[in-house]
Amino acid sequence: MSRIALDRKAVPTDAGPIEIALVGDLTDNESDLTEKILSVPPGGECTLYIDSPGGSPYCAMSLATLIRLRGLVATGIVTGECSSAALWPFAACTHRLVTPFSVLLFHSMKWQSGDHVGLNEAAEWARHFARLEQDMDNLLIEMFGAAEAKVAQWISGGRYVSGRELAASGLAELIELKPRLISHHIDNARPARPKRHAVAR
């Protein structure tokens, strides 16, 4: 089973934002990933490197909620795949970067009930998650903040979208994999730090 690669030793430094790798199924190591995001101070910066096929919708919503509620200045970089539930933390990022080879799968959230569910409980479960699915789809569209009609079309059609296509829609910035351009894109994605002025004593 794939695991999310996390560097537990990373701490905020003057060298730059905390770097967090989201690799594999999000659900496999949700507690560690949550801890990692919580290690970023409220309003602080972090960079998410994403190569994930998705995971639990609950996990996806929790991670996106933490990023937004804590006001993190997050840069999301799709290094490989960012599909299904992985789209939520990516959409929650302030800055989004993709390569020409990035792949993103958009579709409506899929839910599973537990085993041995009674008839009444199953009916209530279906009613609840039909509404929740629509609400989450709408939230994803809202978080991307642009090309709403196109994102809605991708979701309803279960579309695979390339990095180039996502960037052309204005939802991310395209990184060409050339050394000089890579550092330029990453540096420009970070907000300018305020200058410190000496105070006369």
Q: Does position 180 have pLDDT exceeding 90, yes or no? A: no
Range of the domain at 59: 18-189
122 lies in a domain? yes
Q: 80, 33, 86, 82: which is closest to 61 by C-alpha?
A: 86
pLDDT for 29: 82
164 lies in a domain? yes
**4: Cβ–Cβ under 8 A, 6 or more apart, which residues?**
21, 22, 23, 24, 25, 26, 28, 29, 32, 33, 52
pLDDT for 14: 58
Q: Does position 2 have pLDDT exceeding 70, yes or no? A: no
105 lies in a domain? yes
78 lies in a domain? yes
Helix (H, G, I), strand (E, B) or coil at 160: strand
Look at the chain and report how many structural domains it folds into: 1
179 lies in a domain? yes
Helix (H, G, I), strand (E, B) or coil at 154: helix
Question: E strand or H helix at 163, and its extent?
Answer: helix 163-168
34: CATH = 3.90.226.10
pLDDT for 61: 92
Helix (H, G, I), strand (E, B) or coil at 126: helix
84 lies in a domain? yes
Q: Does position 79 have pLDDT exceeding 80, yes or no? A: yes
pLDDT for 146: 86
23 lies in a domain? yes
66 lies in a domain? yes
Of 34-38, 48-52, 59-63, 127-131, the range with the lowest mean pLDDT is: 127-131
The pTM of the full predicted model, rounded to 2 decimals, is 0.76
